[in-house]
Chains A and B, each alone.
Chain A
């Protein structure tokens, strides 16, 4: 098992091996860290192989756009999401694992609407 984990760690570090259920490695995300942003949905990309939420966040005196990756739309659908679940202009709070390279983005863990209600069912 140690050998397997070591091999996976090497491949993960390279960031080139498409592991797990997605089409790429998750090594680009810092899975040890969970961050939360609150902002305005600019666009919900209901696209393959991943969906993305483009969220505009006010940081200091400027707007920063975050690219927040999700699984494939088919799995979002299975977990109660729909193509118009998020619409431009909606206020959302997103929990995510940030990109390791410090760019404004990451992989989505959970999304709440302006009322603080979770969006979708996220699980089965």
Chain B
């Protein structure tokens, strides 16, 4: 009994925290809780406004309403159809288009994941915001005040490197070192690795507004700004996570088709 009591006493001593340190810890927790409470809260599953209501056919009402019956207009504005492409940009777009037939993909990548039919979630904490979609494509936006990594730490990736800050209720994200987006998904704009993306995201009523400005000295003649609105699409109550691994879109004689060989 005595031995057990001594053991407990030793343990308690080992874990004892001096009173001033404990108070400091509580202050830190209180400060973080306050910081958390002050942040916007954007729960739900957010879909590009023009993609809302997508049916089992795979088409959104907005896509079919303004089109003829045999094709749909482009409603993915981040594709950059209206961007100020320079000669190199135009060359790249023509090249991507020429090679697009029958190309397979495994996801949207950045920036197209911000403008696709795939719902997004925003998980906001004081230190970091995570933006993730139903393909588990994730962006990690550090908002703890750190600077962008140094030049020697840079490496181009599909989703780039991001830091962010809050300007009131607006999340401002700067993203760099994004691999040519069209290398990952053939419908994406062929920006260079020198492109810099600045997003300003805020809640406006029931819509999430994202103003995206892209500057790219390699492919654009000047900054290009496009505004995307997201809304909550009813019907989603959890993330349906499945890999993008059954792309059966083929191409025959310049026209897409379904590859008929079924995947077992």
A residues bordering B, Cβ < 8 Å?
4-5, 7-9, 11-28, 30-32, 42-43, 45-50, 52, 54, 65, 67, 69-81, 99-101, 103-105, 107-109, 111, 120, 122-124
Contact call B257/A28, Cβ cutoff below 8 A: yes
Task: Say whether B186 faces chain A, with CB atoms less than 8 Å apart.
Answer: yes
Contact call B240/A77, Cβ cutoff below 8 A: yes
Interface stretch (choices B65-73, B83-91, B148-156)? B65-73
Of A17, A74, A107, chain B has the most CB atoms within 10 Å of the CB of A74
Task: Say whether B2 faces chain A, with CB atoms less than 8 Å apart.
Answer: no
Give the distance in Å from the alpha carbon of A122 to the alpha carbon of B185 in the complex. 28
One digit per residue, 1 when the CB lies within 8 angstroms of any chain A CB and 0 when it does not, for chain B 213-237 equals: 0000000000000000000011110
Of A4, A31, A42, A99, chain B has the most CB atoms within 10 Å of the CB of A31
Give the distance in Å from the alpha carbon of A40 to the alpha carbon of B58 in the complex. 23
Contact call A17/B97, Cβ cutoff below 8 A: yes
Please give the distance in Å from B23's CB to the nearest CB on chain A. Answer: 48
A71 proximity list for chain B (CB < 8 A): 54-59, 117
A20 proximity list for chain B (CB < 8 A): 59-60, 63-64, 72-76
- The 6 A-B pairs of least Cβ separation, nearest first, read A78-B235, A71-B58, A12-B71, A47-B246, A18-B187, A20-B72
A42 proximity list for chain B (CB < 8 A): 262
One digit per residue, 1 when the CB lies within 8 angstroms of any chain A CB and 0 when it does not, for chain B 243-261 equals: 1111111011011111110
Contact call A21/B51, Cβ cutoff below 8 A: yes
Known: A19-B72, A77-B240. 8 other contacts (CB 8 A): A8-B74, A9-B71, A13-B71, A20-B64, A28-B258, A47-B242, A75-B58, A124-B234
Task: Say whether B105 faces chain A, with CB atoms less than 8 Å apart.
Answer: yes
Closest-by-CB residue of B relative to A123 is B55
Please give the distance in Å from A45's CB to the nearest CB on chain B. Answer: 6
Of A8, A13, A17, A47, chain B has the most CB atoms within 10 Å of the CB of A17
Contact call B245/A48, Cβ cutoff below 8 A: yes
B234 proximity list for chain A (CB < 8 A): 78, 124
Contact call A30/B70, Cβ cutoff below 8 A: yes
Contact call B71/A70, Cβ cutoff below 8 A: no
- With contacts A48-B245, A72-B117, A74-B240 known, is A67 near B55, CB below 8 A? no
Task: Say whether B118 faces chain A, with CB atoms less than 8 Å apart.
Answer: yes
Task: Say whether B11 faces chain A, with CB atoms less than 8 Å apart.
Answer: no
Contact call A25/B58, Cβ cutoff below 8 A: no
Contact call A65/B70, Cβ cutoff below 8 A: no
Q: Of A25, A48, A54, A67, which contacts B135 at CB under 8 A? A: A48
